Amino acid sequence: MAKPDETRVALIIGNSSYKAAPLANPANDAADLAYALEQKGFTVLVRENVSERGLKEAVEIFASHLKKGGVGLFFFAGHGIQLKDQNYLLPTDLGFDNEADISFKSVSAEYVLSRMAEAGNRVNIVILDACRNNPFQQARRSVSRGLGVMSVGKAERGTFIAYATSPGSTAADGEGRNGLYTKYLLQSLAGGDSDIDKVFGRVRSAVVQETSGDQVPWISSSIVGHFHFDPVQDSIAERTPALKLAPNPEQEQAAAIVKYDPREERAYWEKIKDGRNIADFKTYLEKFPSGPRAAYARWMTLKYGSGAAVEVAIRETQGYPIAIQPAVVAAPKADLAPLMPPAGVPGSRAGADDPSAPGAEFRDCAECPPMVTLPAGSFVMGSSVNDLMAEADEQPAHPVQVAASFAIGKFEVTRGQYAAFVRDSGRSHPLGCNSTRSGRFLNNPRANWQSPGFSQQDSEPVVCVSWDDAQAYVSWLAKKTGKPYRLPSEAEWEYAARGGTTGSRYWADNSAAAACRFASVADNAFKSVARGMQSFPCGDGYTYTAPVGRYAANAFGLHDMLGNVWEWVEDCWNQGYAGAPKGAEARLTGTCEVRVFRGGAWNSKPASVRTAYRDRDTRDERHENLGFRVVR
């Protein structure tokens, strides 16, 4: 019976960083599903990229939190293997060269289910998006392709098991942020009737449609009664008398599985799959009603057989739009046209004969970043004690004297400019780039500066570059031009970012809603790729990075000093400004394996898009929202 205070506990595991066979999506899947379940009243234990020890410990912690009469949910995304009638879920540190390690170092899904059954839960839910191909399946005869059906006995009454694909088959890893199966699970949980059968029914329909029937999600259920993911809907269902149905032999006979020749089914499907002839799909259903592509054939007869009205009905009854091409959430570009920088930016003297003159703009070579010369001056660095958004490492606020003029990049270094450096220098970049898109630290093992996890143009800022990469770039630039290029000091960066202003941001209207007219930040479009993250209540026109210079410059004629990407600076990390220099030189004492970056990025929330805000990481780490600009 559903109760308002019913205990709901979930263990969510996403393993991406396998050394021998990395996967792109599982860690993202875990982070996003964890948030979705939190919204449904679950206490969530989320674990990403866990080793043998971490996987086994997580299961035991999960078991200790389960309560009699409550709801338990286990989700695993990663590599899974069927071996001797057991489904093993693989930790990230398991090698793929020793089959004997599987049963010893992995955790079987059957064991997890048995621990859930011991607790006496009202409902146990197991979701396995673990049917990926891996080297064991290619090299070992005893290892079966995909996962096997888990038997549910009397002790497991009230159990619902969901597989990303049918037994013995493999599931798509996904080309976007999430795996194909989890992408639609997240969508289905977000809206519509949250009855468990309807949630997974919508998922099945969507996956079958997108894969043209090649991937068919599978379920096994012994739930008696009801379960809704939405606690309110669950309580309402508890108070609604169940409709009792008398057995109908004719219906049971119609529902029986019809045997067929799989070779004939496949051959017929190949003939009709790319067509739009409804008669062909109806014939398929008559000949192969229990075939693996029957759900897709039924959908095609609905979509093309009764017109738009049926299509609308499908969307309404399933709770969300099922489309082969997902909708892109973005603000109309036309609305942003007036926000391009005005031709006469204050202090700008493009083409000046003397590049050392304040306001002069110049470029030392065709591949070099355009530069703007800033005047000497002074400013107050950091945040005052009266600033409500101030953090401890931004204090104490202190005066800084910039004794001499210097030139700084008008824009962040772009992909195109960085590519020229890579071509000339031959610098290599290992795969692996960090993401915090869902508010949890993840690593995309396939990403690098050329492929950060989203599409980019050469005019957008380079990301997935470490502090050491940035140092290599400025050394190359200095050698190429014969000029003293380097990274800015932290003081130089803040002086340049403020542009003579003293507020938290360099634009006059300090409201959060105004930010999208000046910077690429976490906005309304960003919500489509990161559920639950704090964002600005506006639209800047870009979900990820924007071309440099897309938004208005500050008073010094510099673009994207806030937003777009974080920017590495020269300084070692210090927890606050106690003992900081009075001049603008870099602070090269402190924790120097950790370096500072500034400015916020395309996925930054309002609290961190401020000229005083500071962040840091080790010098060899790379992030999908972190780049740099240069000084000479």
pLDDT of residue 427: 95
How far CA 37 is from CA of 189, 532, 629, in Å, comes to 8, 11, 40
pLDDT tier at 121 (50, 70, 90 boundaries)? confident
8-244 shares its CATH topology with 336-628 = no
Which backbone phi and psi does 371 adopt, to 5 degrees? -120, 155
| Mean pLDDT value of segment 560-573 | 96
One of 3.40.50.1460, 3.40.50.970, 3.90.79.10, 3.40.50.2300 is the CATH number of 8-244, namely: 3.40.50.1460
pLDDT exceeds cutoff 90 at 86:
no
pLDDT exceeds cutoff 70 at 338:
no
Which backbone phi and psi does 318 adopt, to 5 degrees? -90, -5
CA dihedral for 612, 618, 619, 625, sign (positive or negative)? negative
pLDDT of residue 532: 58
Distance in angstroms (rounded) separating the CA atoms of residues 267 and 276: 17
Name every residue whose Cβ is closer than 8 Å to that of residue 19 and which is 6 or more positions away in sequence: 92, 93, 95
Q: What is the pLDDT of residues 345-365, one digit of tens each?
A: 233 334 445 777 888 899 999
Best mean pLDDT range from 74-78, 191-195, 206-210 = 74-78
How far CA 198 is from CA of 146, 179, 185, 229, 612, in Å, comes to 25, 20, 11, 11, 49
Q: What is the pLDDT of residues 487-510, one digit of tens each?
A: 999 999 999 999 999 989 998 766
Distance in angstroms (rounded) separating the CA atoms of residues 29 and 180: 10
pLDDT tier at 85 (50, 70, 90 boundaries)? low
Spans of all domains in the chain: 8-244, 251-318, 336-628
Which backbone phi and psi does 367 adopt, to 5 degrees? -90, 0
Q: What is the pLDDT of residues 584-612, one digit of tens each?
A: 999 999 999 999 999 999 988 888 899 99
| Mean pLDDT value of segment 199-228 | 87
Classify strands 80-83 and 143-144 as parallel, antiparallel or unpaired: antiparallel
For 499, counting Cβ atoms within 10 Å of its Cβ (0-12 exposed, 13-18 middle, 19+ buried), the class is: buried
pLDDT of residue 445: 85
Contact 628/486 with Cβ under 8 angstroms?
A: no
Task: Give, as one character, the DSSP assignment of residue 326.
Answer: P
pLDDT tier at 55 (50, 70, 90 boundaries)? confident
Look up the CATH architecture of domain 336-628: Alpha-Beta Complex (3.90)
Which residue pairs, CB below 8 angstroms and at least 24 apart, start in 445-452? 445/16, 445/17, 445/22, 445/23, 445/24, 446/22, 446/24, 447/624, 448/622, 449/415, 449/418, 449/622, 452/624
pLDDT of residue 5: 61
Give one word for 456, left, alpha or beta, with left for phi > 0 and alpha for psi -120 to 50.
Answer: beta
pLDDT of residue 156: 55
